[in-house]
């Protein structure tokens, strides 16, 4: 089932005198359950593409669809609801809320969804145990390693079982062993829960693990390989 689609997607930054084309006519289709990496050098448009399909940014031209719904037809409240209910985000800089514990960071999305405190705690505890981070429950981000913070970020992204997780350079700040462990974790979530993972990365480890690699250069797709 097709989950994400773009049609002739374009994104231009800057004014008319010095425009910078980040995306130039990108067409891509991503199905439910894929484990896909968007690859390319810095400035190729990887993050811009993730931001647009994640309803964090708007294209200059073309269209982006989630589950067949045109994002351009949604107002800001509908887009916020879409992000909250259907999309999980994992960022290079972790983006945990510093004043909250690991448990509270994971519970935060469930709070926004109106879940009771008891239900939030039950779901978060079960997920933390499942991901092997139960011992971090009462720790704040400053008291965790980078790898621990990123595992908490993964838990926060998937706590409400979204259809899609968008991960922007998730291993960039991690050593190779920690990065490999994180990829194991996300691949397990993909296979067990059928969550679609889309990575933006130029990390060889991520590209080796991805089952499909779409290569971007200068805002255009120059390759699309599905591994056997």
Q: What angle do CA 129, 134, 138 make, to 5 degrees?
A: 150
129-188 pLDDT, tens per residue?
A: 888 899 999 999 999 999 899 899 999 999 998 999 999 999 988 889 989 988 998 999
DSSP assignment of the chain, as one string?
A: -EEEEEEEEEEEES-SSS-EEEEEEEEEEEETT-EEEEE--TTSSHHHHHHHHTTSS--SEEEEEETTEEGGG--HHHHHHHHHHHEEEE-TT----TTS-HHHHHHHHHHHTT--HHHHHHHHHHHHHHTT-GGGTT--GGGS-HHHHHHHHHHHHHTT--SEEEEESTTTTS-HHHHHHHHHHHHHHHHHH--EEEEE---HHHHHH-SEEEEEETTEEEEEEE--
Structure confidence at residue 130 (pLDDT): 86
Cα–Cα distance between 7 and 63 in angstroms, integer?
5
Distances 39 to 30, 99, 189, 210 between C-alpha atoms, Å: 15, 34, 21, 10
The residue extents of the domains of the chain are 36-47+76-221
pLDDT tens for 187-221 read: 999 999 999 999 999 899 999 999 999 999 999 99
Mean pLDDT of the region 77-102? 93
5 pLDDT band, cuts 50/70/90, is very high
Distances (CA, A) of 94 to 74, 155, 168, 175, 200: 28, 11, 10, 15, 14
| 74 neighbors 82 (Cβ within 8 angstroms) | yes
What pLDDT score was predicted for residue 157? 93
- What confidence tens digit (pLDDT) does each residue in 44-89 have? 999 999 999 999 999 999 999 999 999 999 999 999 999 999 999 9
Could you tell me which CATH number the domain at 36-47+76-221 has?
Answer: 3.40.50.300
Whether residue 16 is predicted with pLDDT greater than 90 in this model: the reply is: no
d(CA 56, CA 44): 18
How many Cα atoms sit within 13 Å of 220 on the Cβ side? 4
Output the average pLDDT for the chain. Answer: 93
Closest CA to 121 of 101, 96, 141: 101
Are 196 and 188 in contact by the 8 Å Cβ rule? The answer is: no
The whole-angstrom separation of Cα 219 and Cα 80 is 26
Contact between residue 226 and residue 211 where contact means Cβ atoms under 8 Å apart: yes
């Amino acid at each position: 089932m097709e989950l994400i689609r773009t049609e002739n997607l374009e994104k231009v930054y800057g004014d008319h005198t010095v425009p910078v084309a980040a995306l130039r006519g990108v067409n891509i289709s991503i199905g439910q359950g894929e484990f896909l990496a968007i690859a390319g050098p810095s400035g190729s448009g990887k993050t811009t593409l993730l931001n647009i399909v994640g309803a964090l940014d708007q294209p200059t031209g073309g269209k982006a669809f989630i589950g067949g719904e045109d994002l351009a037809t949604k107002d800001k409240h509908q887009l916020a609801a879409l992000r909250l209910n259907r999309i999980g985000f994992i960022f290079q800089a972790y983006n945990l809320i510093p004043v909250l514990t690991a448990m509270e960071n994971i519970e935060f999305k469930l709070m926004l969804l109106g879940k009771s405190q008891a239900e939030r705690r039950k779901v978060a505890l079960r997920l933390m145990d499942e991901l092997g981070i139960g011992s971090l429950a009462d720790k704040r981000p400053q008291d965790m390693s980078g790898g621990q913070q990123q595992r908490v970020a993964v838990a926060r992204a998937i706590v409400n079982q979204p259809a899609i997780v968008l991960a922007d350079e998730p291993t960039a700040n991690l050593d190779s062993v920690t990065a490999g462990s994180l990829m194991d974790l996300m691949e397990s979530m993909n296979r067990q829960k059928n969550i679609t993972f889309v990575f933006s990365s130029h990390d060889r480890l991520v590209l080796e693990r991805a089952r499909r690699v779409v290569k971007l250069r200068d805002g255009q797709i120059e390759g699309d390989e599905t591994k056997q």
